[in-house]
Amino acid sequence: MSQNSPTEPAGTVYIVGSGPGDIELLTLRAARLIGEADAIVYDHLIADGVLDLARIDAERIYVGKKSSNHTVPQDELNRLLVRLARAGKRVVRLKGGDPFVFGRGGEEIEALVDSGVTFEVVPGITAAAGCGAYAGIPLTHRDHAQAVAFATGHLKDGTINLDWPSLARPRLTVVFYMGVGGLTEICRQMIAHGLPGDHPAAIVQSGTTGRQRVLTADLATLPAKVNAAGMTAPALIIVGTVVRLREKLAWFQSPAASGVTSPDGSG
């Protein structure tokens, strides 16, 4: 943990994960720190209702990102955290999911270290774990997958630069974050690098919340089915034979699930 200089107020930045969407999946430590914070710097994808835990007088600063649309550029955001801490504030940098899983938590901590600002990291349930659980899709299973990989499906310059041969493997579950815009390319690449077109795949929209929608299909048909269902971000893509277990293991029902079904007719 880095330290402020003796001439500066003892402000601290807490990098906090708010989990995948259901506020009851927030950790106890995260909830306590939010309630104690002088300032909360928060993203777009934080758990519904989490800001209600903050003090009435706490400063709330929105810095949300939607795909490539950044309300506050990352460098400016880093400077904001440093400035608040140097003003002696207890700052909660609130992120969706877990700060260290495609959350840029590492980049922000680097800036805090370079500036001599005290910080702490509070992990959150990452979206893959939360959405998989609420969709009834275990990420690993002895009969299906002995390994799981997280990948970003965020498009840059029209391409997704991933190690496709290592991802397109049997007995592996692959979870793509931020992949809705590149879904067609993801499925095409997975097939091109060795997986059959009927390899199971699913998409989970707004997972763990009352807006959750789940659609199961396969690599060849998922893009068209997602388009027909009008499913959009925020959503995760899960590829692997574990998707077949949803028919048996699905337990969570949400009002938004109506009308989104798997090929066999289940929700």
Q: For residue range 130-150, list pLDDT tens digits in order.
A: 999 999 999 999 999 999 999
Would the pLDDT of 229 be above 90? yes
- Classified by CATH at the fold level, domain 12-122 comes out as Cobalt-precorrin-4 Transmethylase; domain 1 (3.40.1010)
CATH 3.30.950.10 maps onto the chain at 127-257
Higher pLDDT among residues 8 and 189, named by residue: 189
How confident is the prediction for the chain on average, in pLDDT?
A: 90
pLDDT of residue 157: 58
Task: Supply angle C-alpha 124, 126, 128, rounded to 5.
Answer: 165
**Counting beta carbons within 10 angstroms of the beta carbon of residue 252, is it exposed (0 to 12), middle (13 to 18) or buried (19 or more)?**
middle
Q: What's domain 127-257's superfamily in CATH?
A: Tetrapyrrole methylase, C-terminal domain (3.30.950.10)
Contacts of 118 (CB under 8 A, 6+ apart): 1, 2, 3, 4, 10, 11, 12, 13, 85, 112
Q: For residue range 201-225, list pLDDT tens digits in order.
A: 999 999 999 999 999 999 999 999 9
Share of residues in the chain with pLDDT > 70 (%): 88
Would the pLDDT of 7 be above 60? no
CATH 3.40.1010.10 maps onto the chain at 12-122
- When pLDDT is averaged across residues 93-113 and rounded to a whole number, the result is 95
Confidence of residue 8 (pLDDT cuts 50, 70, 90): low
Contacts of 4 (CB under 8 A, 6+ apart): 10, 11, 85, 86, 116, 117, 118
Would the pLDDT of 58 be above 60? yes
- When pLDDT is averaged across residues 57-79 and rounded to a whole number, the result is 82
Question: Which residues pair with residue 94 across a beta bridge?
Answer: 16, 42
pLDDT of residue 267: 45
Report, in this order, helix, strand and coil percent for the chain, each rounded to 5. 30, 25, 45
Would the pLDDT of 116 be above 80? yes
Q: Which residues are catalytic?
A: 43, 65
pLDDT of residue 266: 42
Which contiguous run of DSSP H or E holds residue 94? strand 90-95
Q: For residue range 12-56, list pLDDT tens digits in order.
A: 999 999 999 999 999 999 999 999 999 999 998 898 899 999 999
Q: Name which of 3-12, 32-41, 93-102 the model is least confident about.
A: 3-12
Would the pLDDT of 96 be above 60? yes
